[in-house]
């Protein structure tokens, strides 16, 4: 081995990348299953929502193909050549383009949901500005990637832009989760206890998906700052788009649980029972009314049932 690569660490570079892509492929399989579940259970969703899922999954598939090609090139095509690690194939940065596009779609969708929750554009516009800012810096990073002559040069020249991009992304995910939980929390006291439980479930799922995206960004940011010359941050990078795609699909498929059982529709039924008092001849009527309340989550209605007795 040549002297410049005498200290080459395959574990921290190729090993980290390989592990990251293996985990990414597992999450891709999860996303495929979730996509199938979505199209089977929600055939009546808006056309734009079904189109969004299709676009995100096609982009995620292209991203998966790009990182697998990059892995094959590094591990097989250039097997035994450490210098190849310093100049990964362009498909690695093409994957970055798809990753940025997926983040734009998913975060934009959640920004739209904030608008539906709040009935105002203020919070949604703030979120969209963060999304656009992230996109701008991701474009800058991607351009630097295509122009680089080595990974060392890329890390040095892109450190500031990549740090800002990841920081904004984490902030955006936290802002989305916090805003949706805030507006949902304000609605809790407007419904009965059944609907309140439904809202609590939505809040819990919102926090889980938001934290998953934020944690992935934080891990990548920490690895990039602390270990810039290793590929630990790359192992996190190849997971980010997969986590975004799964968070979108999970939030949509969660309606399956909420719509099952007593959450399966909106209706009101009433039955009137009459009982004549044989001695007094006075008719007594008791009207039983079953009402179902609706808690709105963006374009989606979650139904909770409550029973009320109306006595004369």
- Span 1-14, pLDDT tens digits: 444 445 566 666 78
* Global model pTM greater than 0.85: no
Task: Tell me what pLDDT residue 295 has.
Answer: 44
- Span 74-129, pLDDT tens digits: 888 878 777 777 778 888 889 988 998 998 999 889 888 888 877 778 888 888 89
Task: Tell me what pLDDT residue 312 has.
Answer: 35
Task: Tell me what pLDDT residue 245 has.
Answer: 92
Q: Which architecture does CATH list for 12-259? A: Up-down Bundle (1.20)
**What is the SS3 assignment for the chain?**
CCHHHCCCCCHHHHHHHHHHHHHHHHHHHHHHHHHHHHHHHCCCCCHHHHHHHHHHHHHHHHHHHHHHHHHHHHHHHCCCCHHHHHCCCCHHHHHHHHHHHHHHHHHHHHHHHHHHHHCCCHHHHHHHHHHHHHHHHHHHHHHHHHHCCCHHHHHHHHHHHHHHHHHHHHHHHHHHHHHHHHHHHHHHHHCCHHHHHHHHHHHHHHHHHHHHHHHHHHHHHHHHHHCCCCCHHHHHHHHHHHHHHHHHHHHHHCHHHHCCHHHCCCCCEEEEEEEECCCCCCEEEEEEEEEEEEEEECCEEEEEEEEEEECC
Task: Tell me what pLDDT residue 1 has.
Answer: 40
Dist. CA 175–CA 125, nearest whole Å: 12
What is the chain's length?
A: 312
Task: Tell me what pLDDT residue 28 has.
Answer: 95
Which regions of the chain are under pLDDT 50?
1-5, 261-312
Our measurement of the distance from residue 185's CA atom to the centroid of its chain's CA atoms, rounded to an integer in Å, reads 21
The full set of domain ranges for the chain reads: 12-259
């Amino acid at each position: 081995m040549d002297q410049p690569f005498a200290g080459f660490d395959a574990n921290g570079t190729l090993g980290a990348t390989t592990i990251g892509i293996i985990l990414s492929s597992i999450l891709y399989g999860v996303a495929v299953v979730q996509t199938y579940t979505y199209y089977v259970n929600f055939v009546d969703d808006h056309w734009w929502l079904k189109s969004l899922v299709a676009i995100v999954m096609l982009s995620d598939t292209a991203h998966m193909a790009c990182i697998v090609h990059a892995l094959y090139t590094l591990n097989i095509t250039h097997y035994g050549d450490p210098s190849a690690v310093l100049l990964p194939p362009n498909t690695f940065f093409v994957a970055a383009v798809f990753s940025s596009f997926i983040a734009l779609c998913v975060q934009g969708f959640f920004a739209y949901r904030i608008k539906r929750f709040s009935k105002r554009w203020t919070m949604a516009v703030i979120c969209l500005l963060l999304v656009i800012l992230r996109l701008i810096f991701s474009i800058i990073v991607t351009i630097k990637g295509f122009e680089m002559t080595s990974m060392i040069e890329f890390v040095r020249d892109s450190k500031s832009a990549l740090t800002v991009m990841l920081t904004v992304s984490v902030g955006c995910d936290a802002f989305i989760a916090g805003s949706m939980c805030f507006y949902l929390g304000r609605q809790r006291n407007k419904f009965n206890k059944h609907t309140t439980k439904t809202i609590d479930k939505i809040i819990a799922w919102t926090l889980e998906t938001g934290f998953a995206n934020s944690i992935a960004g934080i891990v990548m940011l920490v690895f990039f700052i602390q270990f810039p010359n290793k590929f630990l941050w790359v192992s996190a990078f190849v997971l980010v788009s997969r986590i975004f795609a799964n968070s979108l699909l999970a939030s949509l498929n969660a309606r399956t649980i909420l719509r099952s059982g007593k959450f399966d529709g909106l209706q009101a039924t009433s039955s009137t029972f009459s009982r004549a008092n044989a001695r007094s001849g006075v008719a007594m009527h008791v009207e039983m009314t079953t009402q179902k309340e609706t808690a709105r989550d963006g374009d989606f209605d979650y139904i909770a049932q409550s029973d009320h007795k109306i006595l004369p």
